[in-house]
Amino acid sequence: MRQQIDTSPRPLSKVKPFRVMAVMQRAAELEEQGRKIVHMEVGEPDFSTAQPIVDAGKQALDQGLTHYTQASGIHELRDCLVEHYRLCYGVEVNRERILITPGASGGLTLLANMLITAGEGVLLSDPAYPCVRNFIHLMAAEPQLIPVGIEQNFQPTLSQLDHYRRSNTTGLWLASPSNPTGTIVERGRLQSACHWAKSNNLHLLVDEIYHGLHYVDDLPSVLEFDESSFVVNSFSKYFGMTGWRLGWIVVPDAYTETANMLAQNLYISASSIAQYAALAAFTDAARVIFEQRRQAFRERRDFLAAALKEIGFQLTDNIQGAFYIYADISKFSDNCEQFCHDLLERHGVAITPGTDFGEYRCNEFVRIAFTTNMQNLELGVERLQTALCS
C-alpha cells in the first residue's frame, strides 16, 4: 500500500522574521559607515543591569554556583517571587506554582507546548508582540487575531471576544501592558475577561512582562482574580536583565507537574548564575535603582509623546506602561516599512514598522521606543521635525 504523504505546509513556514531586526542590522551598518543613528527601535532598557545584581552574579561565579539547578529554579528565588506577589498584589501564590524560565521567551515556549494542541485556536490582540503568534503557529495551531484600535485602548472588548471566538478556540492570550501599544487591561476589564474565559471553558494567559514599568496607580495581576490563569513574566524589563535570560511563569496547581516535566525536557534549567544574581533584585538597594529608572522612562514618555503629537503623529494619551509609543502615521504615509526605511536612510532615525506586530491597519502605524536617553530623544525629535515638518 502506498504511504500517505502529508502535504500540509509545515508550521515553520508560517513563522516570520522580525522586521525590527533588519532595521537594527541596517542601523549598525550605517553606524559602521560613520553615521550617527538615533535608536528608537530597540525593545530593551538602555540602562545596564543594576550594580547589586551584577555584584551578586560575580559572587555566584566565584562561589562556583555554575551548575544546573532544579528545572523549576532555585527555591530562594521562587520564595522572593512568592513575597513579591504578596507585597505587590496581595495574593498568595505557593512556591510550587512558580517556575523560573530562560526569559519570558522560555516561559512562552513552555506554556505553548503545555496548553496548545495542533488545530486549536488562540485569541490574541492585533497588534501584539510578534513571537506570540509564531509560538502558536509552531504548535500547528491558529492565532485568532482580534483587531484593536486606539478607541478601545488597544485591548479587546468583551463583545469582540464573543465575536472572534471560533469552535476550535481553546485559549485567550493577553498582554498588560502591551508591546507595542503600552496600554493595560484595566481592573474591571481583566476581571470580566477572566470570567468570560472561565465561562467559555478557555485557558487564560496574561503576559505581565512590563509590570513594574507602569505609570498608572493600578495595574492588577490576573492572579488577583483567577488562580486558574497562567502568567508569564521576566527579569528583562523592569529588573533590567535582558541579556541574563531570566523569566518566570505562574501556573495553576494542577499544572505544576507537567510544567516541571516540560522544563526538564526543553531547557533543563534556567541559567544558575542569572538566578543567583536575580536574588539581589529584591533588595532595597536594587529597588531604589529600578524606581529611578521607572521615573526616567516616565519623563521620556511625557517628552516624546508631546513632541510626536506636535509633529503630527496620532497617538493615545493613555501610554500606561512599557516603553513604547504606537503612533499612527496616516498623516504622512500608508506604507510603514517605506516610512521607516526613509527615516533611517535619510535622517538616521531607527523605528519599527507596524507590520511587525500584526495585520490590523499595521501599515499606518510605527512603534517608537523611548529606550534611549533624553539627549538622543531630543535629537530624534529634531530629525523627525526636519523629515516631516519641512
Ligand X SMILES: Cc1ncc(COP(=O)(O)O)c(C=O)c1O
Question: What are the residues binding ligand X (CB under 6 A)?
Answer: 43, 103-105, 129, 175, 179, 207, 209, 234, 236, 242, 247
Q: What is the nearest approach in angstroms of ligand X to the Cβ of residue 242? A: 5
Cell 513563522 maps to which residue? 15
Q: What is the nearest approach in angstroms of ligand X to the Cβ of residue 258? A: 21
Q: What is the nearest approach in angstroms of ligand X to the Cβ of residue 129? A: 4
Angle among Cα 9, 12, 15 to the nearest 5 degrees reads 115
Alpha carbon 334 to chain centroid, angstroms: 26
Q: Do the Cβ atoms of 208 and 178 come closer than 8 Å?
A: no
Q: What is the nearest approach in angstroms of ligand X to the Cβ of residue 133? A: 12
Q: What is the nearest approach in angstroms of ligand X to the Cβ of residue 247? A: 4
Angle among Cα 267, 273, 278 to the nearest 5 degrees reads 100
Our CB check for ligand X shows the closer of 207 and 337 to be 207
C-beta atoms surrounding 256 within 10 Å: 17
Q: Do the Cβ atoms of 366 and 329 come closer than 8 Å?
A: yes
> What Rg do the C-alpha atoms of the chain give, in angstroms?
21
Our CB check for ligand X shows the closer of 172 and 175 to be 175
Q: Do the Cβ atoms of 153 and 173 come closer than 8 Å?
A: no
Backbone dihedral angles phi then psi of residue 226, each to the nearest 5 degrees: -150, 105
- With CB atoms as reference, the residue minimizing the distance to ligand X is 103
Closest CA to 68 of 220, 267, 247, 232: 267
Our CB check for ligand X shows the closer of 45 and 380 to be 45
Q: What H or E segment, with its residue span, contains residue 337?
A: helix 336-347
Q: What is the nearest approach in angstroms of ligand X to the Cβ of residue 275? A: 14
Our CB check for ligand X shows the closer of 120 and 356 to be 356
Our CB check for ligand X shows the closer of 135 and 332 to be 135
Closest CA to 111 of 278, 211, 230, 10: 230
Q: What is the nearest approach in angstroms of ligand X to the Cβ of residue 346? A: 28
Our CB check for ligand X shows the closer of 318 and 330 to be 318
Our CB check for ligand X shows the closer of 327 and 384 to be 327
C-beta atoms surrounding 152 within 10 Å: 15
Q: What H or E segment, with its residue span, contains residue 19?
A: helix 19-32
